[in-house]
Structure 1
Amino acid sequence: MFTGIIEEIGHVVRVEREGANLQLYVKCSFANELKVDQSVAHNGVCLTVVAIEGDTYQVTAIAETLRKTHLGDLQVGDEVNLERGMLLGTRLDGHIVQGHIDQIGTCVAVKEEGGSTRFTFTYDPSLGNVVIEKGSVTVNGVSLTVVDAGKDCFSIAVIPYTLTHTNLHNLKVGSVVNLEFDVIGKYVARLVSH
């Protein structure tokens, strides 16, 4: 379980294919604090640490994860948003994030708005995911508030701090992102559909 508040931007230092799996090696300042079997969110995707060496750790993305996310596109040098699992008994600053990506989306607009940057994303509504204005959504692991919502698109406004301290600063028109929709909204949508 995560909050969507990014702890650090990590850097991909090695990528290896192993059958249908992808081995990712990520360098970050807290690698020496991790333990094997610990969960870390990578651009919103919960992956298990399988090895640690110095300031770099290894995680494995299986075929199912690669089908539903953009992790298969990561290359050496890419930045990834990192968040360790939530600690019980502390503030929940973002929203409840599972680290289970629902689908990918595509950035279709980036607009500076005098103090914030507005990003607009499209997604496939046939998968049953929904967003509502002022609701929560996770983009590449970042907990954000929906500004505008349409049938197959939504916009978010990002403050300068978040832009600087996440990999959202790399987004441009055409960028593919990982989306996790609000868990409460998903359950409500499922109940209503039955």
Structure 2
Amino acid sequence: MFTGIIEEIGQVVNIEKDNTNIHLDIKASIANQLKIDQSVSHNGVCLTVVSIDDSKKTYRVTAIDETLNKTNLGTLQVGDFLNLERGVQLNSRLDGHIVQGHVDQTATCIEAKEHDGSWTYRFEYNPKQQNVTIEKGSITINGVSLTVVDSEINAFSVAIIPYTFEHTTFRYLNKGDTVNLEFDVIGKYVKRLMGLKN
């Protein structure tokens, strides 16, 4: 489980294809604090650490075909940056919201605006999966816990403060880019329960 509070921006330094899977080597200062089998969120995708190279400050994770088809990880190239977060510790504060690291679907950034010290981004997604947002509700975008500013059936906006802009990959995000979405888990259970009653 995660909180959506990003610890660090990592960088992809190597990509290896292995049949339909890919191995990603990530450079990050937290690499020497990790251990094999540990879960780390990469742009909101929970992946397992499979090896660590302390001398290079890198670690390796593997993304399988299922993950590549449902997230933006398949579009990564060497040099790209990722939002990283280690699993939440149960004795710490939950500063974001409950994030599972299971991406529901992707969305496209359709608008990115700067407002003299803050930024707004608007995203559009396929409504066929019936995922929903609500105004002032929680949403996870590329692993970042954010609050929905306005909500439509297939689109929503978020506002970004300077700290979030500087300490996440939002500073690299442009109109037309694809992002990973994880919708609020409580909302998903409510939607499912309501569907069972009909």
Cα distance in 1 between the residues matched to 2:128 and 2:187: 16
Identity %: 63
Corresponding residue number in structure 1 for 2:45: 45
The offset of 1:172, in angstroms, is: 1.0
SS of residue paired to 1:185: helix
In the alignment, does 2:19 pair up with 1:19?
yes
Corresponding residue number in structure 1 for 2:160: 158
The offset of 1:113, in angstroms, is: 2.2
The offset of 1:114, in angstroms, is: 2.9
Among 177, 180, 193, the alignment partner of 2:179 is 177
**1:46 corresponds to which letter in structure 2?**
C
In the alignment, does 2:150 pair up with 1:148?
yes
SS of residue paired to 1:92: coil
The offset of 1:128, in angstroms, is: 1.6
**1:22 corresponds to which letter in structure 2?**
I
**1:192 corresponds to which letter in structure 2?**
M
Corresponding residue number in structure 2 for 1:78: 80
The offset of 1:89, in angstroms, is: 1.2
Corresponding residue number in structure 2 for 1:113: 115
Cα distance in 2 between the residues matched to 1:111 and 1:13: 30
**1:24 corresponds to which letter in structure 2?**
L
The offset of 1:125, in angstroms, is: 1.1
SS of residue paired to 1:100: coil
**1:179 corresponds to which letter in structure 2?**
L
**2:85 corresponds to which letter in structure 1?**
E
| Residues 112-142 of structure 1: per-residue CA shift (max 9 Å, x gap) | 2233100000011110210000000000000
Corresponding residue number in structure 1 for 2:4: 4
| Residues 140-163 of structure 1: per-residue CA shift (max 9 Å, x gap) | 000000000001000000001100
Corresponding residue number in structure 2 for 1:167: 169
Q: How many residue pairs end up in the alignment?
A: 194
Gaps of 5+ in 2: none
Corresponding residue number in structure 2 for 1:136: 138
Cα distance in 1 between the residues matched to 2:170 and 2:31: 22
**2:11 corresponds to which letter in structure 1?**
H
Cα distance in 2 between the residues matched to 1:106 and 1:72: 15
Gaps of 5+ in 1: none
SS of residue paired to 1:105: strand
In the alignment, does 2:91 pair up with 1:92?
no
- The TM-score, its normalising length taken from structure 2, stands at 0.97
Please list every run of at least 4 consecutive aligned residues from structure 1 whose deviation after the TM superposition is greater than 3 angstroms.
none
**1:131 corresponds to which letter in structure 2?**
T
What do you get for the CA RMSD once the two structures are aligned? 0.6
